[in-house]
Amino acid sequence: MSVAAVVIVVVAAILIGAFGLRLSRTTSDFYVASRTVTPLWNASAIGGEYLSAASFLGIAGLILTHGADMLWLPVGWTGGYLVLLVLVSAPLRRSGAYTLPDFAESRLESMAVRRTASVLVVLIGWFYLMPQFQSAGIVLRAITGAPGWVGGLLVAVVVAVNVLSGGMRSITFVQAFQYWLKLTALAVPLVFLLMAWRSGGAPGLSEHDMTHWQLPLSSAKEYGLYSTYSLILATFLGTMGLPHVLVRFYTNPDGRAARRTTLVVLSLLGAFYLLPAIYGWLGRIYAPDVAGTDAVVLTLPGRVIGGTLGDVLTALVTAGAFAAFLSTSSGLTVSVAGVIAQDLFGGGAVRAFRLATLLAVAVPLGLAVWARSLPVADVVGLAFAVAASSFCPLLVLGIWWRRLSSAGALAGLFVGGGLACAAVMAQITGGPYGGLVGALLAQPAAWTVPIAFFVMVVASFLTPHRVPAGVARTMVRLHTPETLNLDRGDWRSRSS
């Protein structure tokens, strides 16, 4: 039954993507859906791609294992959109760029900054795609016994087909559908699980869990306070630096629509993130011995309810899990392929975009097969740390500080992004490590983000001659509502 659910989700994704192909004809369709996506539709698509395997499976697993400390993950991932709303969304849409490197080049007037941003976009995308493919392998192995690489390959093929067929417009339809599927796939089984918990006498946590598991900072984890604050920093600031999230704001018609989209996204994410925490709590009661914490969401319906109903609910959860893999992987692939097509292949044509799509999927699939398996939420958290240490300073200072120089931006990207990437590679290839070094590498944002901001600011003060000549014009464009016509003198009538 679970296999049938996976097949249905895959077929539905391909058919909806094929519908998008009928509407995708221009380069703008492939990259930003011709900037015509409405706020509700766009918010559903953002929810679809943002709620990855880490949200659907990983949060419940980490809460099951580490307790209340991990509640900061959904809080941070949702709160990051509030920071995005206040600081970035509308100016970014007004920039007129297709991708983050486009914004970097137009703001700093430097090809070196653009190339560095392009490399970081690709690295963040690949770090984020790798755990999606690994989690797909875990789910497919749990329901069929197939080797781990088969699930990753299946997701990679479906994503490549969808992106190759219709680009951003096609993916928008697929991701909007998959958000509502994921919400249903967690909410409906949870209703039955809570009914079973209630009818079974409403068992509670053990005395040990009451005094340790459910109390923040009470676990035996080394340097728990540092890890918690670093996690908060990474999730709150990393959201604005995720390329597959930012590219969505380029699809809005104007800056006002971008802000409305962000408000709707906050509501959709808030509704969804109530659910994984309850799964983690139920898992602590009914399945504390589950092997592989990322599988607790899949395990609970069969263990708590059982029978035919349990099988049906497990199939529904499995369908939601595959929707999570497909939607997030699709958004990441579009953003990474767009950068590769423009900056590596040297052109933005549809043919270059399609070739870039194959490369964008192949590399993280190879990494997923080769690298050791880590909890999916941990790896995604590391991707957030890289984004927070590189693009967050670039966007915040680039939008709000006119004295940012190209040399300062370049130095900050190299130092902040480089240190965070080094920490990620150390964790993936050789971790986990013990002691203070292990804590610093597992949660690097607390030291890499301040360093990145510091380097950008100091280097900019030291190189005032590298401030772009057209910065005044650029800042006016970023902060002027589209309803004003500067050439007509609207700013004078508003100020008088």
pLDDT digits (tens, 9 = 90+) for 333-348: 888 888 888 877 766 5
Q: Provide the 10 A C-beta neighbour count for residue 21.
A: 16
- The average confidence (pLDDT) of the chain is 81
Asked if residue 141 has pLDDT above 90, the reply is no
As a whole number, mean pLDDT of residues 455-459 equals: 97
For the CA atoms of 337, 338, 341, 347, the dihedral, rounded to the nearest 10 degrees, stands at 170
Asked if residue 50 has pLDDT above 90, the reply is no
As a whole number, mean pLDDT of residues 423-428 equals: 86
Q: Which amino acid is at 368?
A: A
Asked if residue 380 has pLDDT above 70, the reply is yes
Q: How confident is the model at residue 406 (pLDDT cuts 50, 70, 90)?
A: very high
For the chain, percent of residues with pLDDT exceeding 70 = 83
Predicted local confidence at residue 152, as pLDDT: 87
Q: How confident is the model at residue 24 (pLDDT cuts 50, 70, 90)?
A: very low
Closest CA to 242 of 113, 31, 88: 88
As a whole number, mean pLDDT of residues 149-178 equals: 76
Q: What is the sign, positive or negative, of the torsion defined by CA atoms of 159, 165, 167, 173?
A: negative
Predicted local confidence at residue 493, as pLDDT: 43
Asked if residue 488 has pLDDT above 50, the reply is no
**For residue 434, what are the CA distances in angstroms to 247, 282, 439, 447?**
37, 30, 7, 18
Predicted local confidence at residue 463, as pLDDT: 95
For the chain, percent of residues with pLDDT exceeding 90 = 24
Asked if residue 495 has pLDDT above 70, the reply is no
Predicted local confidence at residue 492, as pLDDT: 46
Local structure of residue 375 (DSSP, 8 states): -
Closest CA to 380 of 480, 262, 235: 235
Return d(Cα 112, Cα 410) in angstroms, integer: 7
385-402 pLDDT, tens digit per residue, is: 999 999 999 999 999 999
Asked if residue 170 has pLDDT above 80, the reply is no
Using an 8 Å Cβ cutoff, are 154 and 9 in contact? no
Q: How confident is the model at residue 378 (pLDDT cuts 50, 70, 90)?
A: confident
| Residue showing tokens 């699939």 | 365
241-269 pLDDT, tens digit per residue, is: 887 777 666 666 666 777 787 788 888 88
Return d(Cα 434, Cα 297) in angstroms, integer: 29
Predicted local confidence at residue 64, as pLDDT: 85
Return d(Cα 174, Cα 187) in angstroms, integer: 20
Q: How confident is the model at residue 33 (pLDDT cuts 50, 70, 90)?
A: very low
Predicted local confidence at residue 484, as pLDDT: 64
182-213 pLDDT, tens digit per residue, is: 999 999 999 999 999 999 888 887 777 666 67
Residue of 125 and 256 predicted with greater confidence: 125
Burial of 358 (0-12, 13-18, 19+ CB in 10 A): middle
Residue of 199 and 10 predicted with greater confidence: 199
Asked if residue 32 has pLDDT above 50, the reply is no
Asked if residue 478 has pLDDT above 90, the reply is no
The pTM of the whole model exceeds 0.85: no
As a whole number, mean pLDDT of residues 154-172 equals: 73
Residue of 127 and 142 predicted with greater confidence: 127
Return d(Cα 353, Cα 337) in angstroms, integer: 6
Predicted local confidence at residue 491, as pLDDT: 42
Local structure of residue 2 (DSSP, 8 states): H
Asked if residue 448 has pLDDT above 90, the reply is yes
